[in-house]
Structure 1
Amino acid sequence: MGQGPRIAIDAMGGDSGPEVTVAGAAIAWQRRDDLHFLLFGHEDAIRAELVKHDGLEAVASIVHCDDVISGDEKPSQAIRRAKSSSMGRAIAAVKEGEAQAALSCGNTGALMAMSKIALRTMPGIDRPALAALLPTLGANDCVMLDLGANTECDTNNLVQFAVMGAAYARVVLELERPRVQLLNIGTEELKGTDELKDAAAILRGSQHLHMRFDGYIEGDKLSRGNTDVIVTDGFSGNIALKSLEGTARFVTDLLRRAFTSSARSKLGFLISRPATELLRHHLDPNNHNGAVFLGLNGLVVKSHGSASDKGVANAIRVAARMVREDLTRKITEDLANISAQNAQLAAAK
């Protein structure tokens, strides 16, 4: 199937199924024609969409699957149908070497559970983490993890998240030494839990890693653009992410209401339309689509369930870039450096 990245796609996942996932694959392929796809799901439904995109059939194979994991299905139930569902088969393709990354717009909990069981965690990683890109006022987006995979984390988990997040930022943000910070209730060294303080101490001593540890960051600074990687436990991370998304919707809805409240407001909207369009584009989740499960023996990307075809294409771009830049190798090397440092510290005591 060629030398480019091979992406396994759960074509049935998300709100619109094959209509959007196949169209997203077409956009991604038009941007980089070395991509190849394995599309998992109902063959007739996928083929009906595939023929709408000239040339895509030559780089896409369909694998028929009878089962589809619903959005409200419990992970424990979904796991039982891993071998017959489009989601489970896409993940299995990565495990078996048929694809180099898997992508789904479907049930997040089911995708994480299936991925952990099928791919297992990398050596040196206790728990995988969910990472995503957040828009900022800076020159680039920032990586944030964990966003919900682990509600409770110890010191080692946070350090491992920092290593994985920095490696991911090096790939997707093209940064040589990403700035890394731990989410905390204050920036002072004495604030925070013991786990945060201990993780900070370890990261401060890790000067040889491909990152720059800049201490703590508070919740009101997440989008300022002054950091590249924000590390936290999944409980706090998920709350922070939902708060940011809710605030973005609040701002856009408030502006829409203000600009339609009177004839003068509508005139003001026409004058300021270029600025409001820039704001809408910056806050559009489709432009930052593609959360990643880091720490597994294989690459898995989670797309928004409501993503547009352009959003799916961006998620595919993230997956392909991780393949090309060999993200797993980068994480392995940095984990080895951390382990060597810890061994030296233990020997010195």
Structure 2
Amino acid sequence: MASPLHLRPVQFVDTPVGRDGEVARLAGGMQWFAAYEVTEGGAKRTVSIPQFERTLWAEDERAAALHRAITAPRPALQLGSRTLRFDQSQVMGILNVTPDSFSDGGRHTGEHGADPVAAGVGMAADGAAVIDVGGESTRPGAQPIWEEDERRRVQPVVEGLAAAGTLVSVDTRKALVMEAALRGGAAIVNDVSALLWDERALEVVAHAGCPVVLMHSPEPEKGPHGGSGYVDVLTEVFDWLEARVAAVAAAGVPRDRIIVDPGIGFGKSLSDNLALLNGLEMFHGLGCPLVLGASRKRMIGALSNEAPVERRLGGSVALALAGAQAGVQLLRVHDVFETVQALRVWRGMRDQALVARG
């Protein structure tokens, strides 16, 4: 079976001023690009926007659909009294209430742990648009926990954050935990198994009508770190997410409430992760907002003399800025203050470039 056509925006420019018809806008955000890298049947070629509009756009239905998805603005989500915008990159703060997460396990648990609600409110004050609360570690080798134990960890934290006016997502693959968190005030479900691990999860999300993050992992029904390798990781992950988005939408979740995550570090080698990071722009072809979760991950250590988790801030910020440059709408990070600061400086530079060269 022939591989379907894929488009990746390339040749980004500082400003669209004076380039009418030569550039296209990426997902209604702050980036404009002058060409596509077209992948088809294993071959790649670069096609300028004017050439694309003369040929592929008019002649290839898939190319036209991908182009519409890549360039269409992502509508904001109205979640109670809070609005989550997708016209520029924002931060999703990671709040783990687990004893064994790879980076911050135990920090917000136990008798001497920091108050998780206060920590989440602090992240929001530092500029996080969403606080992502998780009660089960998904690090390699972590053992699943009983759903009631996970619920007991998560629910009071979600309730406290929601009462404080913070926008909350719940990081879980268990339907019971999803239900409890949504009752407690969570607005978004973030599932590393893309609603495939728990047979009730899709029903829960569809019934609630809440936004959901669908993350790619090779064998989500078994666990987040399986898989046996890829021929072309970028197009294979894209195709998997494309099929999963279609299935979840067919089950009753509105497409404008589906968010996707390529799953950096989940069942992927260092070279796989680097290929995904270098090709993030392709995922805008799914027509959904994107999440990038690369904060403090193993790949940063692998690229920096095996730096331990607590010394991966620089790499984490570098990857967040790479995500922003690729138009990623939500950057899932541990270090909120530093990432927000980096984004503000990056945006300032972008704004000045537009003014100076426009």
Comparing both structures, which one devotes a greater share of its residues to helix?
1
Q: Same fold judged by TM-score > 0.5?
A: no
TM-score by structure 1 length? 0.31
The structure number with the bigger radius of gyration is 1
Q: Which protein, 1 or 2, shows the higher relative CO under an 8 Å CA cutoff with sep ≥ 6?
A: 1
